[in-house]
Structure 1
Amino acid sequence: MRKLMLALAATVAFAGSAFAEPVRISVGSYNLNNLPFPVAQGLGLYEQEGLEVTVENFASGGSKTLQALVAGSTDVAVGFYDHTIQMQSQNKAVVGFVQLARNSGLVLAGGKNATFDPAKPETIKGAKIGITSPGSSSDFFVRYYLQRHNLSADDVSLIGVGSGSAAVAALEQGKIDLLVNYDPAATFIEAKGVGKILVDARSDKGAKEIYGGTYPTSVLYATQDYIDENPETIQKVTNATVKALQWMNNHSAEEIVEKLPKEFISGDRETYIKAVENAKAIFSTDGRFNDEDVKTPLAVLKSFNEKVAAADIDLSKTYTNDFVGKAPHDVAN
């Protein structure tokens, strides 16, 4: 009898996995702006929606994820909202459907020998500046800063160094003078005595000083074609991710780290928990896009991206709240 029960259990488990809906999700990097995605994984929320998620992590930055999405080698991307604006300027329809991070979370940090003084913007000339990758939002951050102070990218050297511990190591080893990056790198820099934060856009106040407004960053996005062809899949992904956002809003940084897949955690655990605590304020609580906030990335891109500046961008086509509006919004425990 026991053998029969085990066989039945195995059959049910196999049937469940056989009927799980496959979806490929790629993530630009394991910086903390993207944290709600691995939290949803760790809580098993995608499985609860009947999804079998295959994950690919492009540690070099979000621009690689965007390329994978446009090429059709992934279904959904965890990347930055401003990429949807870029794609529209190239006549490609990429649409954000869940907002994860409502603010930038970026910092500009200097190494021990850095000579840049934010009070004197011209002192950034000649600096080797680490960014996650060319075409990423950290790249945009630097270019917008330079443009606002009548400088150009030719005045500095922009070097892709990835994110997390690899980015911190590049600063520590003197391969770069300055680093533009997210948490956990931002917290690691000061905790390890590698350098200090010179410009901080993690808070709303800091974001307004840098960008002139709140700057939404990490989102889930897909091509309009995929959304039109797979609305039920998009709804399931949305349901799971919104539950993760609600759960994060009601739990401590330590509890959040407890649920993360091990590969997501970098550095020592206590410092990582501190980084999550520092980053908590940037996360959305409901996944909705704000009609006013999305204007900030457009203004930033227009300042230095000729294609975006020349295009008649319709922001309403770069995001949708339709799926978030249908997601259950009960508080997750």
Structure 2
Amino acid sequence: MKHLRTFSLLCLVFICILPMAACSNQPSTIRVAEVTRSIFYAPQYVALEKGYFTEEGLNVDLKTTWGGDKTMTALLSNGADVALVGSETSIYVHARGASDPVINFAQLTQTDGTFLVAREAQPDFEWDDLKDSTFLGQRKGGMPQMVGEFVLKEKGIDPQTDLNLIQNVEFANIPNAFASGTGDYVQLFEPTASIFEQEGKGHIVASFGTESGHVPYTVFMARSSYLNENEKDMEKFTNALYKAQQWVQSNSAKEIAEVIKPYFEDTDLQLIEQVVDRYKSQGSYAENPILDEEEWKNLKAIMDSSGELPKDVAHETLVNTSIAEKIMND
């Protein structure tokens, strides 16, 4: 009888432990808010589609929040765990005295992703051609606008006096505004720029990414408290991203386009390949997740040039490279 009670007790303990063990093997869910859906973010979709996050024991719940302000609101209000957005947003949050600062921990893109599109074909385009024209720019305070103005100044053009600069059009409405006749030039992301070329609505004449140099244009970031409380998951997340970055670097634009096609169902596969090739050729996709100090300095210089740098913030204050360095050295 005593042995029977002991056996029954052991069975009860086993029954209680089994569900807990099963739960411990469940993948961690990480809610990611991306600022927009873009071929510019190809390595992220590669990591998802090739199962790199799953291999790390993670379930990534991706949602598109359409705009920097909305993305940061989602992150700060605990509507997302990780945000994919421009690094400038972390500086804006820091300047407002956030008690739980937003930390950049893994870089995805390292150049501007926009292109200068002219209404008419200009095979012999010179930057001086912009003078006295109407330029349909991006939202004030965002990275596209700041990089755009930075490049113009580098080319000897004062955006405020040398051209008619339009900045009061919402991000999502800029392509339609240009297609409807507003502006002689417009600053556009892909694939819209290439689509406009195909449809005869505009012609790509220059790349802001090529002209501006390396900058932490789009970065994965999280609240400091979340990073500290979920260190292992963040290492796994960054490792999955790094695998995808390596895969993107070593595979053709055609192969990349085929992998990320499910995220762009309404876009022709050949056009996706063309856009990926354009971004690869100008080195837009970061080769690893590390946001280095030189890139951070370039970001601040661009923001300062546009009058949008609220205060100087040291690299080590808002950037954590230890996670990326650890997974790259393992």
Pairwise TM-score range, normalised by the shorter structure: 0.7 to 0.9
Change (3 A) 1:146 1:118: closer
Residues 158-217 of structure 1 show CA distances to partners (whole Å, capped at 9, x for unaligned) of 11233xxx75454333255432222222333333332122431233xx22xxxxx42231
TM-score normalized by the length of structure 1? 0.79
CA distance in 2, matches of 1:113, 1:243: 40
Q: In the alignment, which residue of structure 2 is the partner of 1:227?
A: 227
Q: In the alignment, which residue of structure 1 is the partner of 2:214?
A: 214
SS in 2 for 1:74: coil
**Do the aligned partners of 1:39 and 1:260 also contact (CA within 8 Å) in 2?**
yes
CA distance in 2, matches of 1:152, 1:146: 10
TM-superposed CA distance for 1:150, in Å, is: 3.6
**Do the aligned partners of 2:261 and 2:272 also contact (CA within 8 Å) in 1?**
no
Task: Name the aligned partner's letter for residue 104 of structure 1.
Answer: D
SS in 2 for 1:327: helix
TM-superposed CA distance for 1:282, in Å, is: 1.2
Is residue 282 of structure 2 the alignment partner of residue 272 of structure 1? no
CA distance in 2, matches of 1:191, 1:329: 44
Query: Which blocks of at least 5 consecutive residues in structure 2 are unaligned?
Result: 1-17
Is residue 19 of structure 2 the alignment partner of residue 44 of structure 1? no
TM-superposed CA distance for 1:38, in Å, is: 1.2
- Computing the radius of gyration over CA atoms, which structure comes out larger, 1 or 2? 2
Residues 94-151 of structure 1 show CA distances to partners (whole Å, capped at 9, x for unaligned) of 211111112113212122499x973055414xx36153x5543122234445666344
Q: In the alignment, which residue of structure 1 is the partner of 2:3?
A: none
Task: Name the aligned partner's letter for residue 178 of structure 1.
Answer: Y
Q: In the alignment, which residue of structure 1 is the partner of 2:11?
A: none
Q: In the alignment, which residue of structure 2 is the partner of 1:96?
A: 104
Change (3 A) 1:266 1:138: farther
User: 286, 297, 300: which one pairs with 2:302?
Assistant: 300
SS in 2 for 1:156: strand
Residues 51-73 of structure 1 show CA distances to partners (whole Å, capped at 9, x for unaligned) of 122111123x3332122212221
SS in 1 for 2:110: coil
Q: In the alignment, which residue of structure 1 is the partner of 2:128?
A: 119
CA distance in 2, matches of 1:180, 1:85: 24
SS in 1 for 2:244: helix
Q: In the alignment, which residue of structure 2 is the partner of 1:247?
A: 247
CA distance in 2, matches of 1:71, 1:49: 27
Q: In the alignment, which residue of structure 1 is the partner of 2:324?
A: 324
**Do the aligned partners of 1:32 and 1:182 also contact (CA within 8 Å) in 2?**
no
SS in 1 for 2:271: helix
SS in 2 for 1:104: coil
Task: Name the aligned partner's letter for residue 250 of structure 1.
Answer: S
TM-superposed CA distance for 1:264, in Å, is: 3.0
Change (3 A) 1:109 1:17: farther
CA distance in 2, matches of 1:152, 1:316: 34
Change (3 A) 1:175 1:17: farther
Task: Name the aligned partner's letter for residue 83 of structure 1.
Answer: T
Query: Which blocks of at least 5 consecutive residues in structure 1 are unaligned?
Result: 1-10, 208-212
Task: Name the aligned partner's letter for residue 80 of structure 1.
Answer: G
Alpha-carbon RMSD across the aligned residues, in angstroms, is 3.0
CA distance in 1, matches of 2:292, 2:27: 33
How much identity, in percent, do the aligned residues show?
24
**Do the aligned partners of 1:265 and 1:272 also contact (CA within 8 Å) in 2?**
no
1:152-231 equivalences under 5 Å are: 152=160, 155-158=164-167, 159-162=169-172, 168-175=175-182, 177-203=184-210, 206-207=211-212, 213-231=213-231
CA distance in 1, matches of 2:250, 2:58: 25
Question: Number of residue pairs matched?
Answer: 301
TM-score normalized by the length of structure 2? 0.80
User: 31, 43, 51: which one pairs with 2:38?
Assistant: 31
CA distance in 2, matches of 1:108, 1:17: 51
**Do the aligned partners of 1:128 and 1:177 also contact (CA within 8 Å) in 2?**
yes
TM-superposed CA distance for 1:298, in Å, is: 0.2
CA distance in 2, matches of 1:329, 1:269: 36
Q: In the alignment, which residue of structure 1 is the partner of 2:10?
A: none
